[in-house]
Amino acid sequence: MNKFLIPIIAVVLISVSFTPPSGVEGKMFPAMQCEDYNGKKVNLPDDTKGKYTLLGMAFSKDAETNLKTWINPMYNKFIVKKAAKDADVFDVQYDYDINLFFVPMFTGLNQLTSKQSKEKIRSLTDKELYQYLLFYEGDKTYKEELDFQKKDIPYFFVLDKTGKIKYATYGSFDEKKMEKITDAIEEN
């Protein structure tokens, strides 16, 4: 009997530990003041209301590495407009009108290195993507409000037009997560 019980317990524990932070779905995204590359203040979610918003957030270098696995797929899916001449017969064209932001978070002692980190990110980032980068610097971690369980993975939030969290997930890019994000955006 124990031979069967151990694998079942292992599967349950693994699935629970990788459950998206769905406890935040349906709640308003907390007020967060960020800054773009030009020093312009962007208040989330207030400055994004009226459009669906997709946020990717990272709290550490490891999380930033995983966040980067999402940048091209998200940019290509939600921002790049495919020319009709480049479309395949079976392509379904869907033009998304959303806000998309990737947000490195500098909290606690990380604030001391934020200027150098921002410059490094700028030097490694394609200029086309600058407008999709926001930086948060402050003492508030948002751990409770956004159900951040680990600092070494990125978190993603789809906000509806009012700033309410419609869908949340985390971790490295995979097609199933991207499909759920897309579904949440297309349901508007």
Task: Enter the DSSP assignment of 183.
Answer: H
Predicted confidence at residue 81, as pLDDT, reads 77
Helices 61-78 and 175-186, packing angle to 10 deg: 50
Name the fold adopted by 26-81+94-186.
Glutaredoxin (3.40.30)
> For residues 56 and 71, what is the distance between their CA atoms, to the nearest angstrom?
9
Phi, psi of 148 (to 5 degrees): -75, 120
Predicted confidence at residue 18, as pLDDT, reads 41
Predicted confidence at residue 53, as pLDDT, reads 97
Over range 70-87, report the average pLDDT. Answer: 80
> For residues 151 and 184, what is the distance between their CA atoms, to the nearest angstrom?
25
More confident: 121 or 92: 121
CA pseudo-torsion sign 59, 63, 64, 67: negative
* pTM for the model: 0.81
For the chain, which residues make up each domain, given as ranges?
26-81+94-186
Q: Cβ(42)–Cβ(35) under 8 Å?
A: yes
Predicted confidence at residue 19, as pLDDT, reads 45
**pLDDT confidence tier of residue 20, bands split at 50, 70 and 90:** very low
CA pseudo-torsion sign 85, 99, 67, 169: negative
Residue type, 21: P
